[in-house]
Chains A and B, each alone.
Chain A
Amino acid sequence: MVYVGSSIGHILALDSSSGARKWQFPADSDKKIGPIYGSPTFSDGVVYAGSYDGKLYALDAASGVPKWQQPFATGGPIAGGVAVAGSTIYVGSSDGKLYALDLDGKPKWPPFATRNKIWSTPVVTEDAVYVTSLDHQLYAVDPAKGTIKWEFEAQGALPSTPTVASGKVLAGSFDHHLYAIDASTGKEAWRFEGGNGFWSQPLVITDTVYVGGLDHKVYALELATGAKIWEYAAKDLIRSDPVNVDGLVVIASQDGEVVGLDARSGARRWGFQAKGQVLADLAVQDRTLFVASLERLLYSLDGGAGTKKWEAPI
């Protein structure tokens, strides 16, 4: 099964091998919730999705029936994804707050407040919940208490979901930099300057960081130093997150072009042109790639060759 949120306010479950629709929430096509910007999260038989109407929905993965009596309402639109770790659900909102809920949708601790919108997905480790905010800060928050452990201030807004790898937190900023921050101290390890901001979540494969930029480029950098290994010029800005398919870095640019790049050299192995813009994150399952476009189409591609398996309206 593949779960996807639509720009017109539906959460859908489709058969991952055929694209056949299994269920839709709200079930009545005339009813809509707000647009879904972040990828829905599947955990233990439940699909979680935050909506631009400010609410967090928990749906039974098999039927699409809500698990909670009422969705959890935050104080602003939700534009990021949801993180689930153990028995805690984490979500950020445009009201600037990071919420931690139990599996019944009840707050575990008072929301952690930042000074601007949170448009990213929180990233959870044993030690901390890392969350970025448009207030220029990257926060490390105690996952049990919701108190701050450290904060790092970038020059510009931080819209990108951070990535944690080898003791570093990587996060892209509107100030044209990708930052690598020491995960335990919050001190800057290195920064890489691109030609515009970074909004996509960095991908780490062994000792290399891959990130797409708003300057239309994909960069491969050394994880230890931030030194550039190669760059690839796309035709449009890159908002969606890159994914790894068997040694290929797959990335989509806003113009709808999806490319598979050799992780070592950056050479283009294949390309696929979707109808409409692609801003949503890519998903991968067993070498199959799922790409959602703003033309309200979900594509299933062979991740190794870039050939289309099916497309379905969403």
Chain B
Amino acid sequence: MPAEVTLAWNLIILQPMLNFLILLYRVTFSNFGVAILVFTLVIRVLMLPLTLKQLHASRSMMSLQPKMQELQKKHGKDREKISQETMKLYKEHGVNPLGCALPTLVQFPIWIGLYQSIIQALADTPEGLLSLSQHLYGALQTVWTTVPLNNAFLWLDLARPDPFYVLPVLVGGSMWVQQKMMTVPNADPQQAQMNQMMQTMMPLMFAFMTIQFSSGLALYWVMSNMIGITLQYTVTGWGSLFKPAPKSAPKPAPAPAAITSKPASKGGKKKADAKYGKKR
């Protein structure tokens, strides 16, 4: 990465977050575990408008899924036609296909900054503390008289992995729940199988990483997942969480009665929403 980009990144993203995290540590009675939890909560609250926008867009997309499957069935391999009809469908229902991607993209640097701030603040080695010294605000006396932080929290040394493997289980479990809630049932057997594989592999991968990474990061992942689950539940309900995964998905799912080739009525949209567990 060019030096100018790194400098700009540190100035705009990393340093404000890092210094804020250390201030939070002071406010939370020098308890870094609590500081990480509060920090994650604050950042998620600040990003709430974007997250909600993304969740609503995602819900709208989910509700159109049966109609899109219908379109695929109707037009077969005519991709151009499917594309045209899909765009038409989006327009009719006021869905912006970028509505999911854009908020995610905007949030992405924040996630990285949050992740980096926790790593930097944990500074457990001489090199870590040296690096940290270059990111602290000179004008904030509280910040530089506070470091190094006390990394003890419950049974954990937050700079080291959890010795009892509780956090890897929580990270994997919470991630699985969140992913399962978000999953859109798919009539395409190949797609369904891929979704199912992702649902298993991603939580396992993160649980495995948690075994090796500092528990401070794991704490952030658990908190972030819990907030994600709460927000997801508020907007879309439990989603696919309690729906059993198809043992095999050779047959396409029958189209809901409300789906027709005509533009959907308001009632039809409601039924489609209900199918995916939208909470009202």
Q: Which of these, B127, B134, B144, B148, contacts A279 with CB under 8 Å?
A: B127
Q: Which of these, A117, A174, A214, contacts B134 with CB under 8 Å?
A: A214
Q: Which of these, A155, A254, A279, contacts B145 with CB under 8 Å?
A: A155
Is the beta-carbon distance between B129 and A159 smaller than 8 angstroms? Answer: yes
Is the beta-carbon distance between A196 and B126 smaller than 8 angstroms? Answer: no
For B42, list chain A residues within 8 Å (CB): none
Indicate whether A237 sits within 8 Å of B145 (C-beta atoms), given known contacts A176-B138, A196-B138: no
Which partner residue on chain A sits nearest B150 by CB separation? Answer: A116
Is the beta-carbon distance between A174 and B126 smaller than 8 angstroms? Answer: no
Is the beta-carbon distance between A239 and B138 smaller than 8 angstroms? Answer: no
* Any A CB within 8 A of the CB of B130: yes
* Any B CB within 8 A of the CB of A157: yes
For A175, list chain B residues within 8 Å (CB): 141, 144-145
* Any B CB within 8 A of the CB of A66: no
For B138, list chain A residues within 8 Å (CB): 176, 195-196
Is the beta-carbon distance between B130 and A279 smaller than 8 angstroms? Answer: yes
Is the beta-carbon distance between A119 and B126 smaller than 8 angstroms? Answer: yes
Is the beta-carbon distance between A197 and B145 smaller than 8 angstroms? Answer: no
Q: Which chain A residues (151-191) contact chain B, with CB distance < 8 Å? A: 155-157, 159, 174-176
* Any B CB within 8 A of the CB of A292: no
Is the beta-carbon distance between B148 and A176 smaller than 8 angstroms? Answer: no
* Any A CB within 8 A of the CB of B169: no
Indicate whether A157 sits within 8 Å of B130 (C-beta atoms), given known contacts A176-B138, A195-B138, A196-B138: no
Is the beta-carbon distance between A214 and B130 smaller than 8 angstroms? Answer: yes
* Any A CB within 8 A of the CB of B133: yes
Number of interface residues of A (CB under 8 A): 23
A254 vs B126: C-alpha distance when bound (angstroms): 13
* Any A CB within 8 A of the CB of B147: yes
Is the beta-carbon distance between A197 and B148 smaller than 8 angstroms? Answer: no
For A136, list chain B residues within 8 Å (CB): 145
CB distance from A159 to the nearest CB of B (A): 7
Q: Which of these, A116, A237, A279, contacts B133 with CB under 8 Å?
A: A237
For A156, list chain B residues within 8 Å (CB): 144-145, 147
Which partner residue on chain A sits nearest B146 by CB separation? Answer: A156
A254 vs B145: C-alpha distance when bound (angstroms): 23
A11 vs B138: C-alpha distance when bound (angstroms): 38
For A195, list chain B residues within 8 Å (CB): 138
For B130, list chain A residues within 8 Å (CB): 199, 214, 237, 239, 254, 279
Indicate whether A79 sits within 8 Å of B144 (C-beta atoms), given known contacts A176-B138, A214-B133, A237-B134: no
For A199, list chain B residues within 8 Å (CB): 130, 133
For A197, list chain B residues within 8 Å (CB): 133, 144
Q: Which chain A residues (125-157) contact chain B, with CB distance < 8 Å? A: 134, 136, 155-157
Is the beta-carbon distance between A117 and B133 smaller than 8 angstroms? Answer: no
Is the beta-carbon distance between B127 and A174 smaller than 8 angstroms? Answer: no
A279 vs B125: C-alpha distance when bound (angstroms): 13
Which partner residue on chain B sits nearest A116 by CB separation? Answer: B148
Q: Which chain B residues (131-152) contact chain A, with CB distance < 8 Å? A: 133-134, 138, 141, 144-145, 147-148
Residues of B near any A CB (own CB < 8 A): 125-127, 129-130, 133-134, 138, 141, 144-145, 147-148
**22 A-B residue pairings within 8 Å (CB atoms):** A37-B126, A116-B148, A117-B148, A119-B126, A136-B145, A156-B145, A157-B148, A159-B129, A174-B145, A175-B141, A176-B138, A176-B144, A195-B138, A197-B133, A197-B144, A199-B130, A214-B130, A214-B133, A237-B130, A239-B130, A279-B127, A279-B130
Beyond known contacts A155-B141, A237-B133: 10 more, CB 8 A cutoff: A37-B126, A79-B126, A117-B148, A157-B147, A174-B133, A174-B144, A175-B145, A196-B138, A214-B134, A254-B130
